[in-house]
Amino acid sequence: MPKTIAKTEAEYTPVKIPKSLLDEVDKAVGKFGYRSRTEFVKDAIRNLLREYGMYKPEEE
């Protein structure tokens, strides 16, 4: 079990975001049917990467 936790932690990176911005995200999460703020932020990142022509779903 500890091994699983260690692996999961290694696959994620913490990123610092102003709390005020995350509060706005929290409001949008329910409104737009996201399961969590992480899912919302992931979609936001994918969207901007796509805009710059740099999103590769196969590398996710």
Partner 1 sequence: MEACLLRQDNFKEQLLEFIEDREKPFDVEFLMKHCLQPVSDIKIHDVLCELAEEGKIIRLDDRYYLSTRVLMKRWLKQKIRNLEGNVIFDEIELPQRLIRQVAKLIKEKPELGYIDIADFVRDAIRRYLLHSQR
Kindly list the distances between the CA atom of residue 17 and the CA atoms of 7, 14, 21, 43, in Å, as whole numbers in the listed order.
Answer: 24, 10, 7, 16
Closest CB 35 distance from partner 1, rounded Å: 14
Q: How far is CA 16 from the centre of its chain?
A: 12
33 near partner 1, judged by CB under 8 A:
no
Q: Which of 3, 7, 16, 35 binds partner 1 (CB under 8 A)?
A: 16
Q: CB neighbours of 37 closer than 8 A, spacing ≥ 6? A: 22, 25, 26, 29
Count of positions on this chain that bind partner 1 (CB under 8 A) = 36
Binding site for partner 1 (CB under 8 A): 10-22, 24-25, 28, 31-32, 37-38, 40-49, 52, 54-56, 59-60
